[in-house]
Structure 1
């Protein structure tokens, strides 16, 4: 079994929540290269404004990172989207504005994958709820999903679906089928130990998603990941069921002292111990072409 490993380098957390994340272009490029050399075929990242330490979705910054990594290693490198959590998501032109950086990268021929999250959720931790907090809303209206899929069809990039809830899978499969020329999506099941959405990282949850995937998108490639999660105990089950693995500081428990490269190295070891072998980026690309 050829297993793909994705390294999610930073996420939107800032160093207040995840102190080890790379922030500057140079830091992100260096960690992306090191993770690829350690066995990650896929590198996912968020761009930041170094002055504020907050996410900044700018096509030029993303291009510098993507090109910087690809100059040294062969890897599938792809960016995120702006996080939307208010009624502004429904304003005229909001979908186009949200995908502006992605569109710019597509026009430059720099995208192989792109984030499309097919659904909206309440995003809260168990700790927040216990303290009387309400969390936030992660908004992905239908117009935003369709915009991402239309751009995927236009520029030929693979939609990387984050499946936070079962309904995300059903909606994402239906919408991808409705867009002529859209490449087959990658379904990434998002587990969590910390957040209240979806499932915990347990074999029964994996089986539930796989049963639904078999109905909605038979044969589609899939990966296990999450937020605030330790995915390591689930890796033998993932490999046994024919899936792929994402690790990295975007997904890891907050405040971890284990960095991206060490997490990739450990995933490589655990995949091997479970009887899998690590796929390179060329093999990932070929498998996706065959899927779609």
Structure 2
């Protein structure tokens, strides 16, 4: 495909609602933000949820309600995070799959995450891989470091291709402890990807947002943007909301003659099952 898959990550697990009131944390806010982002050019939404006090949660009832609402009120590919926050148990992260999203994140290794450790041992990766395939959920493989490419290779060699037969990777750059948010890092990671990889996107955390976006577009990759990853639109100016980040990604993609993919085109790219109307 010559277009660009734009994924929006609107909330995350790290940003404080009290400090960033424009962060969508209630179900109503999340759905409204997703609708606006779809209209602006996003085709997939990467979802973290919050509780009534705006704290990160993996409550299965809330996850199911979120998937159902997004599926009923948008056409977006719904991707649930299985990373949660760095404090969530491995078992609770596995249970995210019971909400039956279209896609799920699957991080291919542990990584220092600021002052914490984002733990992803082999048995968790393997269980997520197998259980996602059993539930017909397409994983997106999150690579925070070059060593994670080897884990992706091991998963494919051990279990075969994931559900849908496609392998979509997201390069997460700029996390303190992971690979830097530079063009050189993106190029190095892309050069190491296994031949089974059918598509990839890149995420630049914080100030690496723009250079990583430009590198991904120039190399034929796709984009992830959103307030989970970047809170500043410009130097000295906070983002007003996720929509303007999606709008900029769509504008740059179009300028590069790789306009945003529709949600149907995204499903073809990723090999997801269309569960709309089945919630």
Same fold (TM over 0.5): yes
- CA distance in 1 between partners of 2:268 and 2:191 (Å): 25
**Partner residue in 2 for 1:66:** 67
Match of 1:276 in 2: 258
Q: Output the CA distance in 1 between the equivalents of 2:217 and 2:161.
A: 30
Pairwise CA distance, 1:261: 0.7
- Post-superposition offset of 1:117: 0.6
Mapped partners of 1:227, 1:236: distance in 2: 14
User: Shift of the alpha carbon at 1:18?
Assistant: 4.3
Residue matched to 1:7: 8
Give the alignment of 1:21-170 within 5 angstroms.
21-50=23-52, 52-81=53-82, 82-84=84-86, 95-102=90-97, 104-106=98-100, 111-124=101-114, 135-170=115-150
Deviation at 1:69, TM superposition (A): 2.1
Contact 1:191 1:229 in 2 (8 A): no
Tell me what 2:171 maps to. 189
* CA spacing shift, 1:277–1:257, aligned 2, 3 Å: closer
> 8 Å contact 1:173–1:217 — kept in the other structure?
no
1:66 to partner: Cα distance: 2.0
Q: Per-residue CA shift, 1:27-77, capped at 9, x if unaligned?
A: 111111111111100011111112x22111122212222222222321101
Query: In structure 1, which of residues 177, 193, 205 is the aligned counterpart of residue 157 of structure 2?
Result: 177
State the alpha-carbon separation in 2 of the partners of residues 239 and 168 from structure 1: 22
The match for 1:20 among 18, 22, 34 is 22
- Kept after mapping to 2: 8 A contact 1:227/1:253: no
> More deviation in 61-70 or 202-211?
61-70
Aligned counterpart, 1:242: 220
Partners of 1:229 and 1:18 lie apart in 2 by 17
Question: Separation in 2 of the partners of 1:217 and 1:20?
Answer: 40
**Number of equivalences:** 263
For the residues of structure 1 that align with 2:42 and 2:245, how far apart are their CA atoms? 10
SS of the residue aligned with 2:74? coil
Find the counterpart in structure 2 of residue 223 from structure 1: 201
Identify unmatched segments of 5+ residues in structure 1: 125-134
Please identify, of 139-148 and 62-71, the stretch whose mean Cα deviation from structure 2 is larger.
62-71
CA drift at 1:219: 4.2
Structure 2 length-normalised TM: 0.86
State the Cα RMSD in Å.
2.2
Q: Is the 8 A contact 1:10 1:22 kept in 2?
A: yes
TM-score using structure 1 length:
0.83
